[in-house]
Amino acid sequence: MVAFQAGGSPEKPGVPGAATPPATSLPAADQAASKPEPVTAPVSKLVPDDAPREVLLEAINDVAITYDPVELPKIKPYLLHPDAEVRKAALDGMVVLGDAAASPMLRDAARQVTSTKEAIELMQAAEYLELPSATGLLKSGTTKAETGPRKGGMPR
């Protein structure tokens, strides 16, 4: 619909004012696409202490479901947040995002946390993200899918 208005507006002299709303709606679309921007702006430094937990958890989720590795630095500061639930959400968010580029960030956070349990969880997540995908292995020919019965039979 925006393309139709933008295409029709230059022909009619009374519509230049109508050409302006699509221009203003495009930044709004950019802002909508980066909706977490106001919430994640503090993430580039550290999460403010007065931010409600729900807002932080939602921001982490919004960034994670972009599935874009460029967004990983926005989640990274949450790995060291004072609230354990926020730290867990950040870890889960990086796993959901699913890119191996998160592994160094998770390893770095594992060195800085005080809980041994959390450090182990961070290291395990880093290792998990570095695993090769089965689809990638099959496509590259590194491994073959077995189609017939296995050799050898069942042990008695």
Please report the pLDDT score of residue 137 as a whole number: 77
Q: Using one digit for the tens of pLDDT, what is the confidence trace for 101-153?
A: 999 999 999 999 999 999 999 999 999 999 988 877 778 877 666 666 666 66
- Average pLDDT rounded to a whole number, residues 80-92: 94
Query: With helix as H, strand as E and coil as C, how does the chain read?
Result: CHHHHHHHCCCCCCCHHHHHHHHHHHHHHHHHHCCCHHHHHHHHCCCCCCCCHHHHHHHHHHHHCCCCHHHHHHHHHHHHCCCHHHHHHHHHHHHHHCCHHHHHHHHHHHHHCCCHHHHHHHHHHHHHHCCCCHHHHHHHCCCCCCCCCCCCCCCC
Mean pLDDT of the region 93-100: 95
Residue-wise pLDDT tens digits, 43-76 = 453 456 567 899 899 999 999 999 999 999 999 9
What mean pLDDT is predicted for residues 81-94? 94
pLDDT at 77 over 60: yes
